[in-house]
Amino acid sequence: MPQHTPDPTFRRTFGRAVVTTSVAALAALLPATPAFAAPADGSAAVVTPVALTTTTIDPTGAVLADHVQAQRASSALQLALSKIGKPYKWGAAGPNAFDCSGLVSWAYKQVGVSLPRTSAAQARVGKPVAKSDLRPGDLVFFYKPISHVAIYIGNGKVVHASTSGQPVKISDLNRMPFTTARRV
């Protein structure tokens, strides 16, 4: 009996279907995976599971990239929240005192993301996000020129190291003049 070899068009179509089905099956599992964070410096932190969501299903890996980004953002947010009450000190980048950009860069460094040191430089990293599309872990920038950064928590709240005499704390997003936001 002669051996039948499928034509190249069939192979490409069948291959895409297998990859798309595999990625879709993986994506269905991702939202149920909790993200956890613990500070790299060994200090105690409040750690809570966070449900991850993915909105893009694409056989080129966007699902996994979105999942990894969301997990890192969630972990960085939890780390920043673990520093509530730590003192503000201009130029400090943790782990026991912070300025605004120091808190953000420290939290993201713990999860493997290197960010520039100043809020103005951090505002040029990642992709822009509309205020209406903010997700927990997004960086939020304030004032013109940009001179302050915070991490979005959700429900109109941010965690930040605000100013001298004020510890790391949670504030309303609209308490300061919003300039832009970035997703890293």
Q: CATH no. for residue 156?
A: 3.90.1720.10
Domain of 149 in residue numbering reads as 8-183
Q: What CA–CA distances, in Å, run from 149 to 94, 99, 115, 119?
A: 15, 9, 12, 6
140-150 mean pLDDT: 98
Looking at the annotation, which residues are catalytic? 100, 148, 160
pLDDT at 64 over 50: yes
- Indicate whether 179 belongs to any domain: yes
* pLDDT at residue 11 in the model: 45
* pLDDT at residue 49 in the model: 41
- Indicate whether 178 belongs to any domain: yes
- Indicate whether 2 belongs to any domain: no
Token pair 């149920």: residue: 32
Residue type at 164 in one-letter notation: S
Sort residue 139 into left (φ over 0), alpha (ψ -120 to 50) or beta. beta
- Indicate whether 133 belongs to any domain: yes
Which of the given ranges, 5-9, 80-84, 163-167, has the highest pLDDT on average? 80-84
- Indicate whether 32 belongs to any domain: yes
Specify which residues 171 forms β-bridges with: 158
Specify which residues 142 forms β-bridges with: 148, 178
Beta sheet of 178-183, edge-to-edge order? 127-128, 178-183, 139-142, 148-154, 157-161, 168-172
* pLDDT at residue 66 in the model: 75
Q: Which two tokens stand for residue 59?
A: 């056989």
The tally of domains found in the chain comes to 1
* pLDDT at residue 60 in the model: 55
CB neighbours (10 Å) of residue 10? 10
- Indicate whether 58 belongs to any domain: yes
* pLDDT at residue 63 in the model: 57
- Indicate whether 3 belongs to any domain: no
Residues 171, 168: Cα–Cα separation, whole Å: 10
pLDDT at 151 over 70: yes
- Indicate whether 109 belongs to any domain: yes
Residues 1, 61: Cα–Cα separation, whole Å: 41
pLDDT band per the 50, 70, 90 thresholds, residue 56: very low
